[in-house]
Structure 1
Amino acid sequence: MHRLLVAALPLLIATPALAQEISTGQAAPTWQNAQTKADALQRAALIFGQLDRNQDGFITQDELAAFTKTMGDNPRMVGRVTRMFASADANHDGKVSAAEAQAQAAAAFDTVDANHDGILTPEERQAARAAASGTQPAQ
């Protein structure tokens, strides 16, 4: 369970902002907003479509490398994206299908949704970030 949280947390936390950045080039202030599971899956699909540069229905290591390069090859981002890719690649074929990405996003959402009400609150996101980093959330 903890491995799933650590691997999928970047998707859940970054998905709203990343989707905004990819589509408009500007970051969106999403930390203050609640997010439904439907919203999270829709944003995950949007990001999948943007990362799947050749539109073949799969994200490959090369496509991820191109993405991380556009994000400045930040070592933390590269590590997170690499772990997320490995976790999402359920059949271990070296690529992530849309179905695998959606399953990963759904499982991650369910893990972070502490009260299982179908809505991620800013507090649940903060608690998940703290759990993944091994720190206590701010009260």
Structure 2
Amino acid sequence: MLEPLLEERDLKLVDIEYITEGRPILRIFIYNPEGTSIDDCEWISRRIGALLDVEDLIPVSYTLEVSSPGLERKLKNEEEYDIFKGRDIKIVLKEPLDKKNVIRGILKGKENREVVVEEEGEDKRIPIENIARANLEFK
């Protein structure tokens, strides 16, 4: 339901969280490749809020929050390795690669079932299943 709204402004859906402790909170994280602005968040918040009110998907009172994923966010799905190409990344491995448990460099994207990271001028290919966690880094 959200994708057509996001596509109107070339925004990407990054994550959705629904927190039920206390007053429920629905958090929607969006990404604009040209830089996610407050205007982007406000624009999509108004539209999503109206859509959710009409569809009545959440039967209780809740707070809607729309924001960018943050500068040093954790990558949660495989598509994000392509969405965030060109960004600095830190990947913690399950099993060492070239005797290293942590790879830091520039994210080049995903090819087949491997993430490609340029580390110190050399491309490292990391099998998706060997990634314990990956975070964008801000330098």
Task: State the structure with bigger RCO (CA 8 A, min sep 6), 1 or 2.
Answer: 1
TM-score by length of 1: 0.31
Give 1 or 2: higher helix fraction: 1
Larger-gyration structure (1/2): 2
